[in-house]
Structures are given as structure tokens and as C-alpha cells.
Amino acid sequence: MAERIGFVGLGIMGKPMAKNLLKAGYSLTVYDIVGEPVEELVTDGAARASSNKEVAANSDKIFTMLPDSADSEIAILGPEGVLEGAASGSIIIDMSSIAPLVSKKIAAECAQKGVEMLDAPVSGGEPGAINAALAIMVGGKQEVFDGCFDLLKTMGSNVVLTGDIGAGGVTKLANQIIVAANIEALSEALVLAQKAGVDPEKVFNAIRGGLAGSAVMEAKGPMMLDRNFTAGFRIRLHQKDLRNVLQTGQELNVPLPVTALIQQMLGALINEGESEADHAAILHFLEGMAKVEVKRGG
């Protein structure tokens, strides 16, 4: 394919996403502040860049996948940033989960240079990134989205334009509310079963096919029962997302009481040294309160 693609941010999500672009045959230039994933992508066929600016200078469409709002702002708008190297007519696709107002700020500065932007956060965790099965929630112009749709489909199974710039971020925040609440509710349910002397695995199998069943339950229930909290999506990142949810809610005067409570649970787990654990470890907070450990066999 003649189209030149850039990718900045090769972390737990970005690296497999970039690999899927290579598998689809795109010409890819990559950069990350950590050298190891860059080396891995170069071995797979990507070109190495020495800065965000260099990625953009060698690309028509540039993806960014970074931890938080400040990271996206610096990587795109800062010194040696993507915008410095981007030519008029190029497109920046920020797939980071950041505050919608920051996406709007970045897009406004890009527009002054004739650079288009989409905000396109994702859901699906590391397994979704590896399997190109992410849900991708996009904000931006219809015509820009249409021109990037095939590219986005190499990384996601469900790609939806939800509105103008910032709408992708709002959609991701809504997603994170629901995911967090599901994990917390599942944790409460399994802790209750354990404390009552009923096998949590049997409870899980009994309810998974009913109204309580969900994709979250199917993904996180087995992890909880296996005591496997290796990160597919880290607690510190979900805590960050819920912080952005609450900030956005405050700006819009929207009460979010359950979200606020779960965000505090995540903060407590971070203080307990679990920032890098999978968000399924919300279970640990409930177990600590009930003085019980969920395990197969009851």
C-alpha cells in the first residue's frame, strides 16, 4: 500500500495495534520513548523514527496511543511533536483515552496548520488489541472518518463515528463507567457467594447466561476465579479514565455517584501497590472489606 502511516506510543495497547497495521501491509514508521518495542516493530518491518516530529514528517496519517491527556498534548503539540512534522492535509488519529476538552484543544491547533484530527479511543484491552477486535469510538468530520475507516478496521472489529471532535472521548468515558461498574458488581457478587459458603464458580456459571451476563463478566470472571490479575488493562489507567469521567461530569453538572465511589476504590488499590494489576483486582478491595478470598470450590 502506498499510504504512509506513523505510530507514536508502543505500549501494552499500541504495540499490538501497530503490528496489525504491518500485517495489513501498510508502510509504518514508529516511535516510542522506550526502545524495546521500537526494536520489536523494526524487526517486524517498520521504519524507526527518532522523534514524534520525524514520525509525522514521514507519514500521511499518524496514530498516537498514549496514557493520558498531558501525554497526548505534549506528543502532538509540544517541541519535536507530531504537529511540527505534519504537513498540511495530513491526519492525526489520537487513540488515547483522554479528556474530551483536550481533544478539542489539540484539534483546534492542528486545524490552524491545515492538519485534520480524529479522536478515536478504544475498548477491548490487550486481547482486543492483539486480535484486532477493538471497539473504536471516533469523533471528527464524516469525510475524514470515511477516509480512515479501512485503516481503523485493521485494528478493530467495531468502528463507529459518534460525533464531532471530542465525541469519541465522551463515548469512551461512558464505556469506562459501565465496565468499572460491571467489574465492581461482579466482585461484590462473588465475595457474597464466597462468604455464604456457595462455590463462586458455580454462581458464575449459573448467572452468566441470564440478564446479569455480559462481556465484562465473561472476560473478568475467569480471571477472578483463577486469581490471575496480570494486566490486560491496568488499575492506574482505569482510575485515570474515571478521573476524566468525573471532571467531565463536573463541567456538565452531571452527578456520577457510583463512578465516584469506584474511582475511590481504584485509588485505594493504587495505594496498596496494585496500580499495575488488571482492573479485575477491584475484587481485592471487596475481599479486604469482607475478610474473605474468592476461590474455586467455595
Q: What is the dihedral of CA 18, 19, 21, 27, to 10 degrees?
A: 90
Query: 23 catalytic, yes or no?
Result: no
Helices (H) and strands (E) in the chain, counts: 14, 9
Which residues neighbour 65 within 8 Å (Cβ) at sequence distance 6 or greater?
7, 8, 9, 10, 11, 13, 14, 17, 95, 96
Q: Tell me the Ramachandran region of residue 140: left when phi exceeds 0, alpha when psi lies from -120 to 50, beta otherwise.
A: left
Which residues neighbour 194 within 8 Å (Cβ) at sequence distance 6 or greater?
200, 290, 292, 293, 294, 295, 298
Residue 157: count of CB within 10 angstroms of its CB: 13
Q: Which of 19, 53, 172, 240 is catalytic?
A: 172
Cell matching residue 258: 457510583
- Residue 42, CB-side half-sphere exposure with 13 Å CA sphere: 12
Q: Which residues are catalytic?
A: 172
